[in-house]
């Protein structure tokens, strides 16, 4: 797979520079670091701040979701690598509007350690902070070891719901509780068809045969559950949905939102082909789909494959999902 870039070591930096140039109403650099993206308006006084952070190469995740009704600041690492604790601390300070800061990010070792370290750093500044980790990838550990699971596309729901909670003026405890509730209510499952190339590494993250796919593979190419011949779309849809339903079991009459997400190269056409099957499976099960998201919400550059996230809704979460939000990649009006 070929890439359009100048210097592989400047891939993340130039990406962020382009983002701030293209969308200056949405994204600005923090004064202290060009690896921290903040809202151009600065921290909002009296609002709980929400920060995230993680590696580059997943746009719109992570920095793309800085915006109204969403996040306040984001620390950005190199491709697929954690940002530093320094940068995370800068992001937390930038997001602080005086009512505390929620750290909301995916469960990856490096990110967790650095965010913990950052939390200790900003405590010295008297910024109150909480943490909610997304660990929605069912393929990455059995239910019994849930806390070891990776965070994947399901985090988009957490950004949206926590963002809406903060935007309406909830306090840190409430925003944190709703973010945690979302994290506990969403499960994801992915299938990978072909790899992407980390610019600094210069070679694909994994190898896979011309007619193979891997169910449960991670967004950085971490091995999945089964590798087998490329199946028809309907059977792929089932492979994504079945393990989620098995664990989450939304009953007849329940309401869910689903995010059917391209990892990058897989076109919208193929997402819709999969969606048909998912819609009919869920209708059969008596489950109503609310505000589905179909598109590229959490990617791995040019990787080919899809992920499915299912969020169980209730009367508390559903209005927050519907609340207005605005970033350069996603507008809920």
Partner 1 sequence: MSLTTRSVQAGIASVHRMLEAGGHETLTELDGKIGDGDLGITLLKAFRKLDEVAPDLPQDLGQALAACAQAIASVSSSSFGTLLTTAVLSAAKELKGQQSVPWERLPALLQGAGAAMAKRGRGNLGDKTVLDPIDAAASAALGLSDAPDILAVMRHATQQTIDRFRDRPNRLGRARIFGDRTIGLDDPGMVAFKLMLDGVSG
Of 325, 291, 292, 52, the residue nearest 165 (C-alpha): 325
List the interface residues with ligand ADP, window 73-112 (CB under 6 A). Answer: 109-110
Q: Does 85 bind partner 1 (CB under 8 A)?
A: yes
Residue 326 in the binding site for its own copies (CB under 8 A): yes
- Specify the DSSP class assigned to residue 303: B
37 binds its own copies (CB under 8 A): no
Residue pair 230/212 in contact (Cβ under 8 Å)? The answer is yes
Q: Which residues pair with 215 in a beta bridge?
A: 191, 226
Distance, CA of 194 to chain centre? 20
Per-residue mark of binding to its own copies, 13-32 (x: CB under 8 A): -xxxxxx-xxx---------
> What minimum distance in Å lies between the beta carbon of 188 and Mg ion?
22
Asked if the bond preceding 235 is cis, omega within 30° of 0, the reply is: no
Whether 26 sits among the annotated catalytic residues: the reply is: no
Residue 187 in contact with residue 139, Cβ under 8 Å? no
* Catalytic, out of 26, 99, 103, 220: 220
- From 96-104, 143-151, 182-190, 290-298, span contacting its own copies (CB under 8 A): 290-298
C-alpha dihedral sign at 154, 276, 231, 193: negative
Question: What's the CA gap between 214 and 100, in Å, rounded?
Answer: 41
Residue closest to 52 by CA, chosen among 80, 70, 71: 71
Residue 10 makes contact with partner 1 by CB under 8 A: no
Binding of residue 284 to its own copies (CB under 8 A)? no
Contact present, 70 and 18 (Cβ < 8 Å): no
Q: Which does 220 bind (CB under 5 to 8 A by kind): partner 1, ligand ADP, Mg ion, none?
A: partner 1
Kindly tell me which of 124 and 333 has the beta carbon lying closer to its own copies.
333
- Interface residue with its own copies among 142, 228, 249, 267 (CB under 8 A) is 267
Tell me the site size for its own copies, rule CB under 8 A.
Answer: 61
Residue 32's CB is within 10 A of a number of other CB atoms, namely 14
Which of 26, 39, 58, 99 is catalytic? The answer is 58
Residue among 309, 316, 314, 304 at smallest CA distance from 149: 309
* Binding to partner 1, residues 147-186 (CB under 8 A): 148, 150
Q: Is 197 in the site for its own copies (CB under 8 A)?
A: no
Return the residues of window 23-82 that contact Mg ion according to CB under 5 A. Answer: 81
- Nearest-approach distance from CB 304 to its own copies, in angstroms: 6
**How far apart are CB 328 and its own copies at their closest, in Å?**
8
User: In terms of Cα–Cα distance, which of 320, 331, 328, 332 is closest to 166?
Assistant: 320
Interface with its own copies (CB under 8 A), residue from 49, 55, 57, 163: 57
Asked if 110 touches partner 1 (CB under 8 A), the answer is yes
Distances (CA, A) of 36 to 28, 54, 71, 198, 216: 8, 11, 12, 21, 31
Contact 320, 160 (CB under 8 A): yes
Q: List the alpha helices (DSSP H) in the chain.
A: 11-22, 85-95, 109-123, 155-167, 172-185, 233-248, 268-284, 317-322
Catalytic residues, which ones? 58, 220
Interaction site with partner 1 (CB under 8 A):
77, 80-87, 109-110, 112-114, 116-117, 140, 148, 150, 198, 200-201, 218, 220, 222-223
Interaction site with ligand ADP (CB under 6 A):
109-110
Interaction site with its own copies (CB under 8 A):
1-6, 11, 14-19, 21-23, 56-57, 59-60, 64, 193-194, 196, 210-211, 213, 230, 232-234, 236, 260, 264-276, 279, 292, 294-296, 299, 301-302, 304, 306, 326, 328-329, 331, 333
């Amino acid at each position: 797979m070929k890439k359009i870039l100048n210097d592989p070591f400047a891939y993340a930096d130039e990406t962020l520079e382009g983002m701030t140039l293209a969308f200056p109403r949405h994204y600005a650099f923090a004064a202290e670091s060009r690896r921290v993206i903040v809202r151009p308006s600065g921290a909002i006084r009296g609002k709980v701040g929400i920060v995230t952070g993680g590696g580059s190469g997943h746009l719109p995740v992570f920095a793309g979701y800085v915006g109204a009704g969403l996040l306040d600041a984001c620390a950005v690492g190199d491709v697929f690598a954690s940002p530093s604790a320094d940068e995370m601390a800068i992001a937390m300070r930038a997001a602080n509007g005086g009512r505390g800061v929620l750290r909301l990010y995916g469960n990856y070792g490096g990110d967790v350690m650095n965010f913990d370290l950052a939390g200790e750093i900003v405590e010295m500044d008297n910024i109150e902070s909480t943490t909610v980790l997304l660990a929605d990838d069912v393929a990455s550990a059995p239910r019994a070891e849930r806390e070891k699971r990776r965070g994947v596309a399901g985090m988009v729901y957490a950004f949206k719901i926590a963002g809406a909670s903060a935007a309406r003026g909830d306090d840190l405890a409430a925003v944190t509780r709703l973010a945690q509730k979302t994290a506990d209510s969403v499960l994801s499952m992915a299938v990978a068809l072909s790899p992407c190339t980390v610019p600094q590494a210069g070679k694909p993250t994994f190898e896979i045969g011309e007619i193979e796919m891997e169910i449960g593979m991670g967004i950085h190419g971490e091995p999945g559950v089964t590798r087998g011949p490329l199946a028809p779309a309907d059977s792929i849809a089932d492979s994504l949905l079945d393990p989620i339903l098995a664990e989450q079991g939304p009953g007849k009459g329940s309401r869910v939102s689903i995010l059917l997400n391209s990892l990058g190269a897989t076109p919208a056409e193929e997402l819709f082909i999969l969606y048909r099957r998912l819609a009919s499976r869920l209708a059969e099960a008596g489950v109503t789909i609310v505000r589905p998201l179909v598109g590229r919400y959490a990617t791995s550059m040019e990787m080919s494959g899809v992920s499915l996230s299912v969020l169980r809704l209730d009367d508390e979460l559903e209005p927050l999902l519907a609340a207005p939000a605005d970033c350069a990649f996603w507008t809920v009006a």
